[in-house]
A = this chain, B = another copy of it.
Amino acid sequence: MSLLEEYTRIREHTIAICAPLAIEDHVPQPADFVSPPKWHLAHSTWFFEQMILKRFQRDFQEYDPQFGYLFNSYYNHVGERTARVQRGHITRPTLQEVLAYRAHTDKCMLQLLRQAALAPDCTELIELGLHHEQQHQELLYYDLKYILGQQPLFPAYGGDTLRHKDRNAVAGWIDMPAGIYEIGWEGDGFSFDNERNRHKVYLQSYQISKALVTNAEYLSFIQDGGYSRFELWLDEGWAWVKENAAKCPLYWQQRGADWLIYGLDGLQPLEELSVLTHINYYEAQAFATWAGKRLPTEAEWEAASDQLPWGARWEWTGSAYLPYPGFKIAPGAVGEYNGKFMVNQMVLRGASVATPAGHARTTYRNFFHPHLQWQFAGIRLAT
């Protein structure tokens, strides 16, 4: 597929994700970690305008100079930005105006993409922009689910329910011998800077599960007093349990003897055979301790990845998000992409039901703070 076709396909997918939403659903920010869909639509466009068109399109005129301020996320190099927590208060530009901004920017980008010879650094930035947009597609699913799922009426989304692929196809354990393995990206295709360089690691022998933890298994943990036994939890995890009176994963609720779960198709009975999701690192770690197991490190995960079916849920690993040997932050705004987040976050591996086609790799390193539950994350055990 040509870069132009890829551009068109990916940009249209973002629109398609938002299409089932009401205009109102594009506005709010019910938690600090959520961004309004309207903001995602604008910010992913802003990336192409600010990072590419301004630099590579001759005589380029910004669509609206104020949008640079409004739709910057965290790129300090590019300029001031609105406080992240105020994104849900910004009603203007309206959704319709944002869509016009997208359409205009796409027109300019297509002009650029039709040019005979794009400079390599331009091509590279466009690829980065598309992968950036795909990351926001994934976040869009997290955010729209949270926006709808926290409301008293529990409305269904109306689009793809992401219900496919939510059962384990295999079971059992993979035995991995001790020795030197290589992990990290090497090759021609796209990768983020945090996946490089490919390097050697020494692993002790270990076993890793082929299957992800299911709702039924997690329910056993709950019914065995999992949320009231401090000895299963990290100290900060136990503080999180008490502060939030946590009793179950996000989107679960108990009504009498029954468990319901909010999904993109609305409030439903809990399906026990489905793969568990929406637990945070603290919950993943406590479950693993309860099960007499542990979470794999990211190196263990990657070393075994060619034997693992994966892709149903991002999987929490026991690894903190830190630079690979030889990692360097690129100069300028692009360098703010990954490296500056390398503290206090845990690595997730795999991919989720919300990951757009073509965006997953075995070397991909996702990362979240340990208390966050709203991403589609699950548990694979190791020992």
Chain A residues in contact with chain B, CB under 8 A? 22-30, 38, 66, 69-70, 74, 76-77, 82, 86, 88-95, 147-148, 150-153, 155, 178, 180, 199-202, 204, 230-231, 233-238, 281-282, 285, 289, 294, 318-320, 322-323, 325-326, 329, 335-336, 340-344, 346, 370
A-B contact pairs, 5 of them (CB 8 A): A22-B92, A74-B235, A82-B152, A235-B340, A344-B344
Interface of A, secondary structure class, is mixed
Q: Which 4 A-B pairs have the closest CB atoms?
A: A320-B320, A202-B202, A24-B91, A30-B89
- Are A77 and B231 within 8 A (Cβ)? yes
CA distance A237 to B344 in the complex (A): 11
Contact A27 B24 (CB under 8 A): yes
Q: Within the assembled complex, what's the spacing in Å between the Cα atoms of A284 and B180?
A: 31
Counting chain B CB atoms within 10 Å of each CB, which of A320, A335, A343 scores highest?
A: A343
Shortest CB–CB separation between residue A18 and chain B, in angstroms? Answer: 13
Q: Are A76 and B231 in contact (CB under 8 A)?
A: yes
Chain B's closest residue to A342 (CB) is B234
Choice from B202, B325, B343 contacting A180 with Cβ under 8 Å:
B202
Q: Is the CB of A27 within 8 A of B91?
A: yes
A70 / chain B contacts, CB cutoff of 8 Å: 152-153
Kindly identify which residue among B89, B92, B235, B343 contacts A341, using a CB–CB cutoff of 8 Å.
Answer: B235
- Which of B92, B238, B344 interacts with A155 by CB under 8 Å? B92
What residues on B are CB-neighbors of A147 within 8 Å? 89, 91
Alpha-carbon separation in the docked complex, A38 to B91 (Å): 14
How far apart are A265's CB and chain B's nearest CB, in angstroms? 15
- Residues from chain B with Cβ under 8 Å of A231 in the complex: 76-77, 335-336
Q: How far is the CA of A153 from the CA of B329 in the complex (A)?
A: 34
Report how far A55 CA is from B31 CA in the complex, Å.
39
From B90, B281, B326, contact of A343 by CB (8 A) = B281
B235 engages A153 (CB within 8 Å): no
Complex CA distance for A336 and B234, rounded to whole angstroms? 9
Q: A204-B326, A343-B281 given as contacts; is B88 within 8 A of A88 (CB)? A: yes
Interchain CB contact under 8 A, B153 and A66: yes
Which residues from chain B contact A319 at a C-beta distance below 8 Å? 322
A89 x B151 contact (CB < 8 A):
yes
Inter-chain CA distance A346–B238, complex, in Å, is 20
The minimal Cβ–Cβ distance linking A369 to chain B, given in whole angstroms, is 9
| CB < 8 Å neighbour of A322 from B178, B180, B320 | B320
Residue of A28, A86, A94, A281 with highest tally of chain B CB at under 10 A:
A28
Least Cβ distance of A223 to chain B in Å? 22
Q: Which of B86, B151, B178, B340 contacts A91 (CB 8 A)?
A: B151
Cα–Cα distance between A28 and B24 once the two chains are bound (Å): 9
Closest Cβ of chain B to A357, distance in Å, is 29
Set B204, B230, B294: member contacting A200, Cβ < 8 A: B204
